[in-house]
């Protein structure tokens, strides 16, 4: 039995997943492996690329029993007699913008796609060029749908734009968001980079108005969040991008307490991609940076009571502004005890007159 040769291995932006293309003397396959910290949460995803030998008529159970990658049956192959082995120098990988799915290119042409949503679904799925018919029970599909190529074109253009040293997209995006915030909150007083010198650029801008200190994020919305495509399907464009806001009363909290809360919010900014998750209305996040009496933040746009802050769209998508509002341990546990508990907690908070502005309060 020939040991498979790894032709290319490439981690995603945050090292949470690894894409691997490998082949032996029989087959070539594309895999996405979760990093060790996610290995119990997510499964390896596999995608057949091509047979290098004549295809069997029946399913290659013997190979699987021996721990080898199976040949695909002849009825599903464009090249039932086998195709040429892949050459490593012609293999490239492109991750999607969410950082949870990837495409293999061979000689600069798309060869296979493992979509990001398949990581979170019980339904396996991959799309591969050398497949001629749907293999329903294994989730293998021909790479033929125009929508797949349209999506690849958009993703490629996105990475080309951010990889072009002569045309940096960040300054105009940065200014658009600052303009949107300053239109309602006045001029920014301080600006903190929160990206830890990693792509994409992200920051918190500080504002003060009517004895309220505001911290508003910029750059978080450059990337769409994982999970959202699976959860919202055709409506995903309305939920996959976000920015974060924090508003704290100077009359209730000291500068040190305010800065601790701001630091906690800055740590949330990269959470969807660092933890392969997503954030949205009613989500709760535990934090050690909160004043005594509070345990977590709840995120909400519905709690906001102020003039509209019109954020620019990103890549044609709406950007949601979620305010981080402290909640008690009992409130968090109550929200987690039932389906849609976060929404129910927000309804109670709104009913009690609680807004996006953080003030001292007792639990509900």
Same domain, 15 and 159: yes
Q: What is the pTM of this model?
A: 0.94
Q: Please state, in angstroms and rounded to a whole number, the distance separating the CA atoms of residues 34 and 14.
A: 12
Q: Is the dihedral of CA 67, 69, 71, 76 positive or negative?
A: positive
Report yes or no on 60 lying in a domain. yes
- Is 248 exposed, middle or buried (CB count within 10 Å of its CB: 0-12, 13-18, 19+)? buried
- Is 5 exposed, middle or buried (CB count within 10 Å of its CB: 0-12, 13-18, 19+)? middle
Q: If you count DSSP H runs as helices and E runs as strands, how many of each does the chain have, helices first?
A: 8, 17
Q: Residue 190: which of 208, 170, 176 has the closest Cα?
A: 208
Same domain, 308 and 291: yes
Block mean pLDDT (10 aa), the chain, length 364: 90 97 97 96 96 95 90 97 97 98 98 96 94 95 96 96 89 97 97 96 97 98 97 96 98 97 96 97 94 95 95 97 97 92 95 96 84
Tell me the per-residue pLDDT of 186-195, one tens digit each, with 9 for 90 and over: 999 999 999 9
Same domain, 234 and 112: no
Same domain, 253 and 290: yes
Among residues 116, 134, 163, which one ends one of the domains? Answer: 163
What's the pLDDT score for residue 141?
97
Same domain, 101 and 246: no
Same domain, 227 and 338: yes
Report yes or no on 233 lying in a domain. yes
Same domain, 118 and 231: no
Same domain, 80 and 189: no
Domain count of the fold of the chain? 2
Report yes or no on 363 lying in a domain. no
Same domain, 181 and 151: no
Range of the domain at 80: 5-163
Q: Which residues are paired to 47 by β-bridges?
A: 30
DSSP strand E in the chain: where?
Answer: 5-11, 17-23, 27-34, 45-51, 91-95, 102-106, 109-114, 126-128, 140-142, 190-193, 203-209, 212-218, 242-249, 284-286, 296-300, 320-327, 357-358
Tell me the per-residue pLDDT of 17-73, one tens digit each, with 9 for 90 and over: 999 999 999 999 999 999 999 999 999 999 999 999 999 999 999 988 888 999 999
Query: Which two tokens mark 88?
Result: 């490593």
Query: Which two tokens mark 233?
Result: 């399907």
What's the pLDDT score for residue 1?
62
Report yes or no on 144 lying in a domain. yes
Same domain, 239 and 311: yes
Same domain, 198 and 106: no
Among residues 148, 163, 178, which one ends one of the domains? Answer: 163
Burial 317-338 (b: 16+ CB within 10 A, else e): eebbbbbbbbbbeebbebbeee
* Percent of the chain at pLDDT exceeding 90: 93
What's the pLDDT score for residue 132?
97
| Residue 235: DSSP 8-state | G
Same domain, 55 and 177: no
Q: Please state, in angstroms and rounded to a whole number, the distance separating the CA atoms of residues 244 and 142.
A: 40
What's the pLDDT score for residue 82?
96
Tell me the per-residue pLDDT of 337-347, one tens digit each, with 9 for 90 and over: 988 899 999 99
Report yes or no on 26 lying in a domain. yes
Report yes or no on 364 lying in a domain. no
Among residues 136, 163, 190, which one ends one of the domains? Answer: 163
The residue written with tokens 């010198």 in the block is 197
């Amino acid at each position: 039995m020939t040991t498979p040769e790894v032709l290319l291995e490439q981690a995603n932006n945050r090292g949470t997943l690894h894409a691997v293309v490998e082949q032996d003397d029989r087959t070539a396959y594309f895999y996405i492996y979760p990093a060790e910290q996610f290995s119990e949460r997510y499964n390896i995803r596999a995608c057949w690329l091509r047979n290098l030998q004549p295809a069997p008529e029946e399913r290659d159970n013997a190979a699987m029993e021996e721990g080898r990658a199976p040949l695909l049956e002849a009825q599903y192959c464009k090249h039932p007699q086998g195709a040429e082995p892949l050459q490593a120098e012609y293999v490239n990988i492109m991750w999607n913008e969410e950082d949870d799915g990837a495409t293999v290119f061979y000689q600069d042409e798309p060869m296979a796609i493992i979509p990001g949503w398949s990581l979170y679904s019980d339904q396996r799925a991959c799309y591969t060029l050398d497949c001629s018919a749907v293999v329903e029970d294994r989730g293998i599909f021909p790479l033929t749908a125009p929508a797949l190529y349209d999506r690849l074109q958009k993703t490629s253009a996105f990475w080309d734009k951010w990889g072009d040293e002569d045309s940096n997209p960040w300054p105009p995006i940065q200014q658009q968001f600052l303009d949107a915030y300053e239109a309602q909150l006045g001029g920014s007083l301080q600006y903190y980079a929160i990206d830890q010198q990693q792509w994409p650029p992200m920051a918190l801008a500080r504002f003060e108005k009517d004895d309220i200190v505001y911290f508003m994020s910029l750059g978080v919305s450059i990337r769409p969040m994982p999970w959202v495509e699976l959860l919202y399907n055709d409506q995903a464009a309305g939920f996959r991008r976000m920015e974060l806001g924090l508003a704290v009363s100077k009359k209730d909290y000291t500068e040190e307490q305010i800065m601790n809360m701001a630091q906690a919010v800055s740590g949330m900014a990269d959470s969807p991609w660092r933890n392969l998750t997503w954030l949205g209305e009613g989500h709760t996040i535990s934090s050690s940076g909160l004043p005594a009496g509070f345990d977590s933040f709840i995120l909400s746009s519905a709690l906001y009571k102020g003039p509209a802050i019109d954020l620019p769209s990103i890549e044609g998508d709406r950007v949601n502004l979620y305010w981080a509002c402290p909640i008690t341990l009992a409130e968090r546990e109550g929200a987690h005890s039932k389906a849609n508990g976060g929404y129910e907690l927000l309804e109670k908070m709104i009913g009690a007159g609680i807004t996006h502005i953080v003030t001292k309060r007792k639990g509900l």
